[in-house]
Amino acid sequence: MTLLIVRAPGALTTVQDGGRPGLGAFGVGRSGAADLPALGAANRLVGNDPGAAGLEITAGGLTLAVTARAILAVTGAAAPVLIGRPGQAPLPAGTHARLVLRAGDTVTVGSPTAGLRSYLAVRGGIVAEAVLGSRAYDSHAGLGPAPLRAGDRLSVGAARGPLPTVDAVPPPYRPPGPVELAVWPGPRADWFTPAARRLLLAQRWRATAAMDRVGVRLAGARHLERAVAGELPSEGMVTGAVQVPGDGAPVIFLADHPVTGGYPVIAVLTAAAVARAAQLTPGVAVRFVPGG
């Protein structure tokens, strides 16, 4: 069986797949890849099902060695990819393309120049112990395989189905300027003043360093003012919800968000916007735009 041996784990590299949907009533969130389209693209390039288990690499720094011939792809953030081969200088490879590694090769995903999370898929998928039907690491609930450490050995599954004829796909376009996130009105938009609802769309926001797989906290010149005082009885939350705690600074919920919460949700991101939000880095400017 082919193994991937972790030479360097990076700051935070976790096994992720399509997650474990349908368990909210047990208090278990869906989790899974924060940027699902990126994981899907990597998997499709190597002929896997889109939700197959791969690696989510946060801020780069991962080096893996392969024990046998392996077919890989790296998508997500714009990051350098290097193939190390014994006796040769490192070979620059690319993201969004199918890579073929020989036994003994290493692959390194470097620090991103744009975006935050890289996704590495291997043909056959990562074989790790499934919890409640998924191999995803849920950082909030503490479910699934622990983040990677140096020396870890990951098993690769058997390839299923053919390789696609396409061996490279265009990376997502990142226009200059603030990252635009399309939103629908949230269930508690009426908990905010009309001025606050306008401000949400008019103000230039900034992603702060307070970000992880649970969510991204935003800062802005002015905070969002409530029309309804008091606490919100706990209700179910969705990925992509823009939740506004008491201080009026919005938080965008990502894959490991709490299943229920007591702060009002003023807006909800589209799926495409969630993928962009999963790639925000501290300091990046953000604008909400009407979606749907």
Partner 1 sequence: MRVLGCGPSALLVEFAGTDARAAAAAAAWLDRAETARPAAVTDLVPGARTVLITFDPAAVTVAAVRAWAMGLDAAAAPARPESPPAPLRIEVDYDGEDLPAVAAALGMTVPALITAHTAALWRCDFTGFAPGFGYLRSDGWAHTVPRLSTPRTRVPAGAVGLAGPYTGVYPRATAGGWQIIGRTAAVLWDERRDPPALIRPGRAIGFVAR
User: Which residues would be at the binding site for partner 1 (CB under 8 A)?
Assistant: 21-28, 30, 131-132, 141-143, 184-188, 233-238, 240-241, 258-261, 265, 268-271, 291-292
Nearest residue to 169 via CA among 36, 38, 45: 45
CB of 244 to partner 1, least distance (A): 15
Q: Which residue, 97 or 130, is less far from partner 1 as judged by CB?
A: 130
CB of 229 to partner 1, least distance (A): 17
What is the full DSSP assignment across 238-259? -TTEEE--TTS--EEE-TT--S
The amino acid occupying position 57 is: I
Q: Which residue, 46 or 259, is less far from partner 1 as judged by CB?
A: 259
Beta-strand relationship, 106-109 and 62-66: antiparallel
CB of 146 to partner 1, least distance (A): 14
- Cross-strand partners of 126: 156
> Do 9 and 153 touch, CB atoms closer than 8 A?
no
> Do 77 and 116 touch, CB atoms closer than 8 A?
yes
CB of 20 to partner 1, least distance (A): 10
CB of 288 to partner 1, least distance (A): 13
CB of 159 to partner 1, least distance (A): 27
What is the full DSSP assignment across 44-66? HHTT--TT--EEEEESS-EEEEE
Q: Which residue, 97 or 272, is less far from partner 1 as judged by CB?
A: 272
Q: Which residue, 68 or 201, is less far from partner 1 as judged by CB?
A: 201
From residue 32, alpha-carbon distances to 94, 249, 254 in Å are 24, 26, 10
Two structure tokens written together for 229: 């005082």
Q: Which residue, 6 or 28, is less far from partner 1 as judged by CB?
A: 28
Q: Which residue, 71 or 259, is less far from partner 1 as judged by CB?
A: 259
